[in-house]
Amino acid sequence: MATVAPQRTRPGRGTELALLVPALAVGIGAYALVGLGTAGELPPGLLGFAAGLTALAVGVHLVLRWRAPFADPVLLPTAVAINGLGLAMIRRIDVAYAARDRVTDFAGRQMGWTALGMVLAVAVIVLLRDHRTLRRYTYTAMVIGLVLLVLPLVPGLGTEINGARIWIQVFGGSFQPAELAKIVLAIFFAGYLVTNRDTLALAGPKVLGLQLPRLRDLGPILLAWAVALLVLVGERDLGTSLLFFGLFVAMLYLATERLSWVVIGLVLFAGGAALAASTFGHVAARFEAWLHAFDNDVFNASPGGSGQLVRGLFGLASGGLFGTGLGQGRPDLVPFAESDFIVASVGEELGLTGLLAILVCYLILTERGLRTAIGVRDGFGKLLAGGLAFTIAFQSFVVVGGVTRLIPLTGLTMPFLAYGGSSLISNWIVVALLLRISDHARRPADLAPPSNQGSSADDQLTERITVRAPDAPGGAR
């Protein structure tokens, strides 16, 4: 294993501030256009919206200057842009619902969640001085993560909404604990794998040219698989199950560099999904709605039909290349246009052009996260940043792939874009963690904070190579 040679990097806070200008312009401009497109005039709350979003973004920027001056300058503006656009789109859907006498204030609540998410991001940056501290809580994180994952199954606490049991009732509101669980479990996986990667990478039998791990090391992946299946069956949630298992397999691969883990993971998941599809009606219905979406019987079936999916496709199609324009389409014709199907709403009003631009934003978020993972020197940080960045890409893939009928529809939310407090808060914490790790990664060595107690274990994993050397095969194993 080789690390990228530390090089003098500019802290990048100036770049970040400059990038925040177009990022804020996207959100605020879209919000103004929603008013112009629906009522023909600027929306009444435009100034407050612009001031609030700007204050929050600049606030995070200032905290970064203070506490993480070397943090990646692209992450924050990208997240602000997507979040702002999502707020405008949700506002637009509120207006569309109002036109049909359905009074909603999704946008108002989402603004509250945005503020809370960004405040929590600031808290993470301020309180977590060094991400390696988190490694101390590896097994605590495991317990918390598993509890969060199965919390919706607790009678009296979990609630079933639209067939999926992934919400819990707290403080009179519903919360999706799986969103937080993905962060906590990423911490656990990173901590666990960085300790056990050498064992898991040991060679076992060779089958069909594929170097399999030793059979006795299959325990962890089987456990993760069992939990994923439990979530799939108990909570009827293909998405969370897929995300949880995908995250584990991806991080396992990152830690061991063994492709065999990925193959085993895929085989296990495919087998589990096939088993579930043949055993449980709701999983089979998902596949049926995917494969035969345009059959009239499947289209009209309720619940479990393809009506929502196909209506989303209709919305996307009516957007065409350039979209109807904000406020000019009919996103409200798709059920859950503000949350599960916000991608269809965006695709309808902003067109293929707008949707591709947003996908590029997610790609940037992912790649800057992975870049952080490559840059950071400790194995735990690499795994954590890599895993978190991967969740953004994976979640986008599962959601957009589901809406565009590339894969069966699952119940995940589009990070930063979709309505939902749990998702928004969790993703701001993800970005905060990536910012924190990137500050560590990009900070010149001579400015690095003194290693604390917890990081001493990393020393054996961290090479202090300062020359740019080609990766030596098996060098660090």
Partner 1 sequence: MNNPLRRLAAMTIVMFVVLMGGATWVQYVKAPELNNDSRNVRTLYREYDNDRGPIVIGGEPVASSSPVDDSFGYLRSYSAGALYAPATGYYSVIYGRSGIEEAMNTELNGSADSLFYTRIQDLITGRQPQGAAVELTIDPAVQQAAWDALGDQRGAVVAVDPTTGAILAMVSKPSYDPNVLASHDTAAVQDAWASLLADPDDPLVNRAIAGPTYPPGSTFKLVTAAAALESGLTPETPVAAPDELDLPQSSAVLTNYGGSSCSSTGAMTLQDALRISCNTAFGQIGLNLGSDALREQADAFGFDESISVPLAVTPSRFPADGEIDEPQTALAAIGQYDVRATPLEIAMISATIANGGERMTPYLVKSVRSANLTVVDSTEPQVAGRAVSATTAANLTEMMLAVVENGTGTAAQIPGVAVAGKTGTAQTTDDAAPHAWFTGFAPADDPKVAVAVVVENGGDLGNEATGGHVAAPIARAVIEAALGSGS
Contact status: 255 vs partner 1 (CB under 8 A): yes
Binding region for partner 1 (CB under 8 A) out of 62-70, 157-165, 266-274, 313-321? 313-321
Run of H or E residues at 169: strand 164-170
Binding region for partner 1 (CB under 8 A) out of 59-67, 153-161, 177-185, 396-404? 396-404
Whole-angstrom CA distances from 137 to 140, 368, 477 are 5, 26, 25
Binding region for partner 1 (CB under 8 A) out of 6-14, 38-46, 213-221, 251-259? 251-259
- Burial class for 295, CB neighbours closer than 10 Å (0-12, 13-18, 19+): middle
31 near 91, Cβ under 8 Å? yes
CA distance 390 to 189: 13
The position carrying tokens 């098996």 is: 474
Give whichever of 160 and 471 is closer to partner 1, judged by the CB atom. 471
Site for partner 1 in 325-384 (CB under 8 A): 329-330, 333, 347, 351-352, 355-356, 359-360, 362-363, 366-367, 370-371, 373-374, 379, 382-383
Contact status: 63 vs partner 1 (CB under 8 A): no
CA distance 477 to 472: 10
Contact status: 316 vs partner 1 (CB under 8 A): yes
Give whichever of 158 and 415 is closer to partner 1, judged by the CB atom. 415
CA distance 372 to 383: 10
Give whichever of 31 and 253 is closer to partner 1, judged by the CB atom. 253
Q: Which two tokens stand for residue 250?
A: 């991806």
Contact status: 464 vs partner 1 (CB under 8 A): no
Q: Which residue among 266, 317, 445, 447 contacts partner 1 (CB under 8 A)?
A: 317
Contact status: 195 vs partner 1 (CB under 8 A): no
Residues in contact with partner 1, counted by CB under 8 A, come to a total of 57
Identify any residues that bridge with 153 across adjacent strands, giving them in sequence order. none
CA distance 392 to 396: 6
Q: Rounded to the nearest whole angstrom, what is the least distance from the CB of residue 390 to partner 1 in the complex?
A: 6
- Rounded to 5°, the CA angle 383-167-189 comes to 15
Q: What values do phi and psi take at 22, rounded to 5?
A: -65, -35
Q: What values do phi and psi take at 210, rounded to 5?
A: -100, 125
Site for partner 1 in 97-136 (CB under 8 A): 99-100
List residues near partner 1 by CB under 8 A: 1-4, 99-100, 250, 253-255, 257, 294, 299, 310, 313-321, 329-330, 333, 347, 351-352, 355-356, 359-360, 362-363, 366-367, 370-371, 373-374, 379, 382-383, 386, 389-390, 393-394, 396-397, 400-401, 404-406, 471
